[in-house]
Structure 1
């Protein structure tokens, strides 16, 4: 069953229940607007602090999008790209695309003009739907992209080179287009994060999307009464696939635009959020704000908040220990996944396994996982190898890239490129990315292991470890360390702390500066390598 049928079901069974809420803390005047009938969201209403839509209106809007696209010649198998910041329009547009049988192509809002052009061409996109934040970038490339593509603009003051989505959609039918969609039909193209160069186009079918909804609900036990707070970008599989748990149960979800400890706690309190997915830096910021007294828990209604989970990056054990000191009643989970496995959940810790914090966990609902050597044979328990996964959420392929697909999917197994090891209880621990391994004096160093160790040092807010060229050892490990605000620390303090590590694993260079992360929380190691002139070394190592 395609997930579009879940939306239709919710519109029938819970027509007047709130499906989505958008909170925009940047708007000081606390104006609110609710749609409970057939009217379309008007551009000027986007300037409200709080907006919401019911399941009935959500479905009606998706139908209008679908019928608009069909009226312009979009058919099953065509591609429609979405380039929007998180907003109330995002998911109805996504579902409208799916209802036509076309493929939704979400795009990273950090892409520059040339990356946008590259991804439009790579995915063979027919329509681009974009928002006001991207006018300048689209204008740079419009002469190169508009001859072959329809450009729809979402927002007020439509630029001359695009068509006004709001006006056109408002004249379209709100009835379902009734296009037959099968589980095996192509559904969406997602792009890899681009942390290793230009992104790859990752093709998924409808079965993948539906399985993601089942995985999320199975792992976190969502009910109709749960309220999910979504902060990360919807273009990424992580945020959207976690939201699919709300779609499956008909529960409310809240999209928070902009993030500070105060706005997160305020939104959880005001909207009655029960499930919150955080990235490591946001959780750290909340803890620091609590430590400094900048926010006080007693100022908010938080008793209903039952689950905090983290994904997209390794989680320091010290962070969860500190979190449980402030929130002892919280369940905790971490999810591992990649866009090729339709986002989070192919491996997960499980809320009952908090004693295993530090592990990414065990195979998720409907998934299998193994750790293998370069020939694809399982390694001995406790040995390091590559993590591979298998399940209904494995991508169909890298779109129009047979070579990369064959390198990544073998006998139905997805080779993740992540090095891992398994303990005696079957719990999997990430060691590092295969491509990020540092070879120093013949020894393999796994940066994630060193990062996890350093993250326990109380003065460190964030840390990244990369390899730098060394004439004698080939490479040395360098630690880029971001300190907590208003904190002083010396190299010697770090070196003394690292004496607990084996000598060969200790960082040989300490650099105090900010650690760059992308929108989904991943460390931008290519950027660090470029900054510290180690890119060519790593590229040569990867090709060896």
Structure 2
């Protein structure tokens, strides 16, 4: 069945139950009242720091937007892009696109104007929905992308080149559009994170989106009574596909617009959240705030919080050990996935396997995994090879890129580009991205292993290890270290700390600097390489 049927069913079963809540804590702090006490200003939504809608309202809003799209000549299979910050309108717009039979194309809100133009052209988008934060960028390019014939603006003031979404959609029918949808129809195009250059367009069907609903719910056992706190950007598969487990059972989702530790704990407390998916930097920020005394757990009602899980990147085991010191009753899970596999869940640790912290886990619900060498043959137990996965959430293709598709999809198996190993119990451990392996003096160095070690240092807030060119060894490992606030650390102290590592694994260069991460928490290593490789070469030349 198409994934839109879940929304229609939820409206029927849970109509008056709250489906979505949006919280803007910056506005809340200005008013100095609790989220529940603040009166909703419906005529000026952006002035409200807490907005909500029921399942009936969610479904009706999606239907109205679907009928608006159809009224504007959008046909089944047409591509409609979404460029919005997380907000209450985001998901009804997404499902309205799907109900119209169109293909939803979420865009990264960090894209500059040229990247937006590139993605609109690559995905052959014919309509764009965007918010006030992006007006300047869209004004630069809208005339340069003539295929985008329709623009909808989600904001208060009108624009000369865009129709006002809020005013228009209210005038359209709440009746379900009469569009025949099938499970194998195209549903959404997601873009790869773009950490290796311009992003690829990843095409998914209704069936692959639906499969992620069941995978997530099987892994984390969501019920209608659960409340999911959603912090990551909705344009990314990670946030949305984790929410899909709650969506499947009619559970409430809270969209939090902000990542400060105090905001996260307050949202958990006041909205009675039971499930929170965090990125590594946010979890570290919470722990650092608790350890410094900036936050006190006694100030929050957190007894109902049952699950904290992390994905999007390797998780330092030391982080989870620290977390359990403060939250001993929490269930914990690690989720691994790619946008090409409909986000997280193709591999997961499992709530019962915290003793295997450090592993990403085993094959997820209805998924298969294997680890292969460069010829595609299985590597021996304990050996390092490329992780490949197979399951119902594998993408249909890279849109309009047959060669790129053929390079990663082989007989139904998705080649992830991640290097991994499997232990004697069948648990998979990520070693590193294939492209990030450092070859130094003929030895393979895996940055994640060095990063995990350095995370154990009490002064280290964040760390990234990259390869720098070296005339003798080919490459050397450089550790870029971000120190915790109010802590001091020297290069000599780091070198002494690393003395227990095998000599060939010790970073040969130590750099103290901030670690850039993208909105999904991944370290932006290409930026670090670009910055420090050039500086390293200049330094080498000046010394020679």
Give TM-score, length-normalised by structure 1: 0.96
Q: Is the 8 A contact 1:229 1:277 kept in 2?
A: yes
Q: Is the 8 A contact 1:468 1:534 kept in 2?
A: no
User: Post-superposition shift, 1:146?
Assistant: 4.5
Which stretch has the larger CA shift, 390-399 or 451-460? 451-460
User: Post-superposition shift, 1:158?
Assistant: 2.1
Q: Is the 8 A contact 1:368 1:390 kept in 2?
A: yes
Aligned partners of 2:342, 2:535: CA distance in 1, in Å? Answer: 29
Counterpart residue number, 1:300: 300
Q: Is the 8 A contact 2:128 2:148 kept in 1?
A: no
Aligned partners of 1:334, 1:200: CA distance in 2, in Å? Answer: 25
Aligned partners of 1:165, 1:33: CA distance in 2, in Å? Answer: 27
Q: Is the 8 A contact 1:31 1:49 kept in 2?
A: no
User: Post-superposition shift, 1:260?
Assistant: 0.8
Aligned partners of 2:114, 2:527: CA distance in 1, in Å? Answer: 18
User: Post-superposition shift, 1:373?
Assistant: 0.3
Q: Is the 8 A contact 1:42 1:166 kept in 2?
A: no
Deviations 1:191-216 (A, max 9, x none): 00010000000000011100000011
Counterpart residue number, 1:198: 198
Counterpart residue number, 2:95: 95
Deviations 1:143-197 (A, max 9, x none): 2024642111001112212111111111111111031111111000000001000
1:274 aligns with 2:300: no
Deviations 1:280-305 (A, max 9, x none): 11111111111111111111110000
1:358 aligns with 2:358: yes
User: Post-superposition shift, 1:533?
Assistant: 2.6
What aligned pairs does 1:140-539 form with structure 2 within 5 A after superposition? Answer: 140-146=140-146, 148-533=148-533
Aligned partners of 1:521, 1:381: CA distance in 2, in Å? Answer: 31
Counterpart residue number, 1:14: 14
Aligned partners of 1:147, 1:516: CA distance in 2, in Å? Answer: 35
Aligned CA-pair RMSD: 1.6
Aligned partners of 2:421, 2:281: CA distance in 1, in Å? Answer: 25
Where structure 2 has 5 or more consecutive residues not aligned to the other structure, the ranges are 538-544
Deviations 1:418-441 (A, max 9, x none): 000000000000001111111111
What aligned pairs does 1:25-64 form with structure 2 within 5 A after superposition? Answer: 25-27=25-27, 28-29=30-31, 30=33, 44-64=44-64
Aligned partners of 2:205, 2:237: CA distance in 1, in Å? Answer: 13
List, as ranges, runs of 4+ consecutive aligned residues in structure 1 with deviation greater than 4 Å. Answer: 30-34, 40-43, 534-537
Which stretch has the larger CA shift, 290-299 or 85-94? 290-299
Question: SS at 1:400's partner residue?
Answer: coil
Aligned partners of 2:189, 2:47: CA distance in 1, in Å? Answer: 31
Aligned partners of 1:534, 1:346: CA distance in 2, in Å? Answer: 38
Distance 1:256 1:46, change over 3 A: same
User: Post-superposition shift, 1:482?
Assistant: 0.4
User: Post-superposition shift, 1:501?
Assistant: 1.3
Aligned partners of 2:474, 2:284: CA distance in 1, in Å? Answer: 35
1:131 aligns with 2:131: yes
Question: SS at 2:111's partner residue?
Answer: coil
Counterpart residue number, 1:113: 113
Question: SS at 1:517's partner residue?
Answer: coil
Q: Is the 8 A contact 2:126 2:147 kept in 1?
A: no
Counterpart residue number, 1:541: none
Where structure 1 has 5 or more consecutive residues not aligned to the other structure, the ranges are 35-39, 538-544
Aligned partners of 2:198, 2:500: CA distance in 1, in Å? Answer: 39
Deviations 1:441-463 (A, max 9, x none): 11111111111111111111100
User: Post-superposition shift, 1:416?
Assistant: 0.1
Question: SS at 1:26's partner residue?
Answer: helix
1:85 aligns with 2:102: no
Question: SS at 2:310's partner residue?
Answer: strand
Give TM-score, length-normalised by structure 2: 0.96
Aligned partners of 2:460, 2:275: CA distance in 1, in Å? Answer: 27
Aligned partners of 1:49, 1:444: CA distance in 2, in Å? Answer: 50
Distance 1:509 1:72, change over 3 A: same
Aligned partners of 1:33, 1:515: CA distance in 2, in Å? Answer: 37
User: Post-superposition shift, 1:535?
Assistant: 11
Aligned partners of 1:78, 1:201: CA distance in 2, in Å? Answer: 15
User: Post-superposition shift, 1:536?
Assistant: 13
1:66 aligns with 2:63: no
Question: SS at 1:12's partner residue?
Answer: helix
Aligned partners of 2:505, 2:536: CA distance in 1, in Å? Answer: 23
Deviations 1:237-260 (A, max 9, x none): 000000011110101110000111
Aligned partners of 2:464, 2:265: CA distance in 1, in Å? Answer: 28
Which stretch has the larger CA shift, 12-21 or 143-152? 143-152
Counterpart residue number, 2:542: none
